[in-house]
């Protein structure tokens, strides 16, 4: 072998360029999640006790979190009190759906017509003995059933104020 034969041709070394990732980050995340999920599923085949134990642990942890949620101090609900009204007894009017102490209780001439009134007119809002202030003393005279509920309306007689002696119907829940 001659020297010329021993001489190898020079290799041209080109600088390496960084590889450009053809996969997007979303694809990488999907692959990572898929690999973790498949390894977890394969755990079911290889070691079912660990697999089902992990599921039970997660379930117990979720139950504990849901049962202890909140700061522990829940406000007491102070809704309307449903009381058994008796004919001939005195009660006071209190609007069950209003927090404003200046709210009034609607009295009507026929039971069941409370929802039929349109209070947008001044005559409806300022009519005599139609809107009674809360705390007005009344006596229950009789009851009327409505909408499948017994004693939904009560006929009352106003015991004080400008409308003393007037009789009208009110929602039984507005009588306390």
Alpha carbon dihedral 22, 25, 30, 34, in 10-degree steps, equals 80
Rounded Cα gap, residues 82 and 63, in angstroms: 35
95 with 163, same domain: the answer is yes
Query: Tens digit of pLDDT per residue, the chain (176 long)?
Result: 556 566 565 665 665 655 555 567 888 888 888 888 888 888 888 988 988 998 999 999 999 888 886 665 666 656 566 678 889 999 999 888 788 888 888 888 888 776 555 555 555 556 678 888 888 999 999 998 888 888 888 999 999 888 899 999 988 888 88
pLDDT of residue 161: 84
104 with 136, same domain: the answer is yes
Q: Which domain holds residue 131?
A: 90-174
Sheet of strand 149-158, all strands in order from the earlier edge strand to the far edge: 90-92, 137-146, 149-158, 167-171
Domain boundary among 9, 37, 68: 68
Number of domains within the chain: 2
Query: Is position 124 within any domain?
Result: yes
pTM of the model: 0.51
Query: Is position 15 within any domain?
Result: no
pLDDT of residue 76: 64
Domain boundary among 35, 68, 101: 68
40 with 100, same domain: the answer is no
pLDDT of residue 159: 93
**Counts for the chain of helices (H) and strands (E), in that order:** 4, 6
Query: Is position 146 within any domain?
Result: yes
What number of CA atoms fall less than 13 Å from residue 147's CA on the CB side?
7
Rounded Cα gap, residues 135 and 98, in angstroms: 13
pLDDT of residue 79: 57
- Which residues share a beta bridge with 157? 139, 167
């Amino acid at each position: 072998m001659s020297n010329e034969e021993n001489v190898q041709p020079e290799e041209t070394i080109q600088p390496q360029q960084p590889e450009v990732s053809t996969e997007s980050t979303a694809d990488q995340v999907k692959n990572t999640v898929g690999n973790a999920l498949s390894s977890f599923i394969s755990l079911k085949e290889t070691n079912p006790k660990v697999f089902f134990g992990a599921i039970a642990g997660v379930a117990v942890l979720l139950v504990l979190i849901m049962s202890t949620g909140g700061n522990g101090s829940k406000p007491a609900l102070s809704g309307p009190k449903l009381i058994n009204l008796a004919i001939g007894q005195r009660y006071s009017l209190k609007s069950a759906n209003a927090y404003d102490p200046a709210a009034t209780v609607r009295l009507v001439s026929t039971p069941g017509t409370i929802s039929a009134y349109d209070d947008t007119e001044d005559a409806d809002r300022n009519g005599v003995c139609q809107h009674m202030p809360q705390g007005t003393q009344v006596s229950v005279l009789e009851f009327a059933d409505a909408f499948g509920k017994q004693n939904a309306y009560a006929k009352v007689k106003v015991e004080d104020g400008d409308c003393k002696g007037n009789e009208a119907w009110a929602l039984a829940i507005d009588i306390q």
